[in-house]
A and B are shown apart, each in its own frame.
Chain A
Amino acid sequence: MTDTPVRPDAPTDRQRVREQRPLSELAAEIPDTPRKRKVGPRARRILKHVLLIGFGLVMLYPLLWMLSSSFKPNEIIFREPGLIPTELDLTNYSQGWFALLHPFHHYLLNSAIVVLGSVLGNLISCSMAAYAFARLKFRGRPLWFAIMLMTIMLPIHVIIVPQYILFSSLEWINTFLPLIVPKLLATDAFFIFLMVQFFRGLPKELDEAARLDGCGHGRIFLRIMLPLSLPALATTAIFTFIWTWNDFFSQLIFLTDPEMYTVPIALRTFIDSTSASSWGPLFAMSIVSLVPIFFIFLFGQKYLVKGIATTGIK
């Protein structure tokens, strides 16, 4: 995609002696420049590209097939595996949109509310906790920090039963609260860790100068740390978006009323309500459900790569 010539400031191999920088930074820098220009014969290089593109096509073929099938009338989907639809038929979309109890935008809206609440919750609560771990001195900090890291590994399945009991005693089942309130309470410790890493990289002189000027921690956090941490906040927002949008397990448990269904839960009900012969509308709505993720993929590459390399998240 980016066939730019080697940048003049790119380090040469000799300079590149074992870099001691966070993996996340390295990962985000990788694009553009191939690190070695030691290329084989032309024919071999071309063969390599052909194989890589071929492999990529095989990988993406199911997705492309779903996209093209969503524009084909049902009878044709199963007859021809080809990708190019003979005509652009939107009936699957109009049928799928109204196939369930509520029109599909109802579920999209529900998902949007959950996602928005989760993103805001994670941004606020995780950045606050991260500031404390990265900059404040308090008793027991290493211990609390270790506990925070351990909660990252804790499978949600282990605590879901008591959570359900707790939220149902609060009469929160079939509301969005069980999905949003935990985010406001910084339970996605992944992002605390991510932001602690980022905050630690910011020069301490900045907050010291601000302290001398009489700023309290609240103002240092709001006026200095947050504005400088936009990349980390963006990574957090993007991953929270994707996770929440794709999340099935907890939404399946906490939302049982069709009125409150989010996109994944609504899609699931397609299996029950449609016969095997009407995959077209199902594909159409699946495509609709993937569009937001795809846009993030297109425009958030840099942050995605950074996020993965910091915590190994998908």
Chain B
Amino acid sequence: MSVIQEVAKTRGASRETRKGDGKAAAIFLAPWFIGLGLITAFPLLASLYLSFTDYSLLEAPNWIGLENYTEMFADPRWTKSLAVTFQYVFISVPLQLAAALGLAMVLDRGLRGLAFYRSVYYLPSLLGSSVAIALLWRQVFGADGLVNQVLAYFGIEGVGWVSHPDYALGTLMILNVWTFGAPMIIFLAGLRQIPTMYYEAASIDGASKLRQFFNITIPLLSPIIFFNLVLQLIGAFQTFTQAYIVSNGTGGPIDSTLFYTLYLYNEGFGSYNMGYASAMAWFLLLIVAGLTAVNFFASKFWVFYDD
């Protein structure tokens, strides 16, 4: 069903037949093998090597051991970028999933026009990562933007949200929540799999709607919630475009939108500190791998697989 379950499946798979279509497989897989080697594996190892060097593209890499890493841990901007990203991820992803689940449940309740609502709510997910929408956001939450126009209508005087260090990150979180349509569609498919008789039985026994939600919907939907959570967390960690556009590449005001990937980009391709950027990249890999691992581990305690 999902990537995650596929991984779990292959882990247990035993060796397959030895003989077979080796030659044909080599031909069909040739592009993928080359890509895996040259575009993925080699850069992955190269960036590990570079993370132990001082490298600015102009001269050969100079081995400096763990210096990039020690510098990184002592770098206040790096710490800040990590804090900004974590804040963004752990606030906006749960909100986004809550909105997705809430709307999915409303739409699942025998409503006409489901396809229409689904399309309307899904559209932002398609557009959300584009430069055009980030530019729009910059304007909507600007000093004389749409939000303040609406607030002025009610007699409230707003501030320049995207240029205010306390609020700039919040506007990006709203942007992420705005794209709840994709997880909503997955939730809708998941809700479909819960047999209605469970709810009927529960309501005959006198269980309230709230109780039904916590005792039927949540447990039976937990694999889907987990699937969405892993994907959205990993995706949110890599947010770049929105922060770049809204802050015009600086991560400002006063680093309040300095996302991890943005700082990495600025170090690597702004200042050409390729070694430092590589160290950051490997730390990012550890975070993403760690998050996935934690999620898998934690899922044992709360994800309920019915089969």
Contact = CB atoms under 8 A, between A and B. Distances in A.
Contacts of A38: 110
Given A162-B50, A246-B131, 20 more contacts: A27-B189, A59-B124, A125-B35, A136-B25, A137-B25, A141-B25, A145-B10, A149-B7, A151-B36, A153-B3, A154-B44, A165-B274, A185-B35, A186-B32, A186-B35, A246-B129, A252-B265, A276-B142, A289-B132, A314-B128
Contact of A31 (B118, B183, B307): B118
A287 B268 CA distance: 32
Interface in A216-241: 216-218, 221
B237 A59 contact: no
B162 to A, nearest CB: 12
Contacts of B36: 147-148, 151, 187
Interface in A152-171: 152-166, 168
A221 to B, nearest CB: 7
A159 B44 contact: yes
A289 B129 CA distance: 13
Contacts of A65: 140, 146
A60 B123 contact: yes
Interface in A244-289: 245-246, 248-249, 252-253, 263-265, 267-268, 270-272, 276, 279, 282-283, 286-287, 289
B294 interface: no
Contacts of B34: 185
Main secondary structure of the interface of A (DSSP, over half): helix
Given A2-B116, A164-B269, A253-B269, A311 B7 contact: no
B139 A279 contact: yes
A41 interface: no
A8 interface: no
A185 B31 contact: yes
B136 A36 contact: no
Contacts of B130: 245-246, 248, 264, 289-290, 293
Contacts of A23: 1-2, 186, 189-190, 193, 224
Interface in B202-232: 224, 227-228, 231
Contacts of A48: 106, 111
Interface string A4-38: 00000000011011111011101100111011111
B43 interface: yes
Interface of A: 1-3, 13-14, 16-20, 22-24, 26-27, 30-32, 34-39, 45, 48-49, 52, 56, 59-63, 65-66, 78, 80-81, 124-125, 128-129, 131-132, 136-139, 141-142, 144-166, 168, 182, 184-187, 192-193, 216-218, 221, 242, 245-246, 248-249, 252-253, 263-265, 267-268, 270-272, 276, 279, 282-283, 286-287, 289-290, 293, 296-297, 301, 304-305, 308-309, 311-314
A301 B132 contact: no
Contact of A297 (B19, B43, B123, B190): B123
Contact of B126 (A124, A249, A272, A304): A304
B192 interface: yes
B1 A60 contact: no
B121 interface: yes
A94 B106 CA distance: 44
A307 to B, nearest CB: 10
Given A34-B111, A137-B16, A192-B32, A155 B40 contact: no
Contacts of B138: 271
Interface string B268-306: 110000100110011011001100100000000000001
B66 interface: no
B110 A37 contact: yes
A26 B193 contact: yes
A289 B126 CA distance: 13
Contact of B284 (A3, A124, A136, A155): A155
A162 B110 contact: no
A184 B28 contact: no
A271 B1 contact: no
A297 B126 contact: yes
A34 B31 CA distance: 45
Nearest to A128: B28
Interface string B32-64: 101110111011101100100000010000000
A96 to B, nearest CB: 12
Contacts of B109: 36
A138 B20 contact: yes
A129 to B, nearest CB: 4
A69 to B, nearest CB: 9
Most buried by A among B153, B178, B192: B192
A34 B153 CA distance: 39
B110 A142 contact: no
A313 B182 contact: yes
Contacts of B120: 56, 59-60
Contacts of A182: 35, 39
Contacts of B22: 138-139
Contacts of A293: 126-127, 130
10 shortest interchain CB distances as A-B pairs: A185-B35, A137-B20, A1-B116, A36-B110, A162-B43, A286-B132, A162-B46, A159-B43, A27-B189, A138-B25
A128 B193 CA distance: 33
A37 B111 CA distance: 8
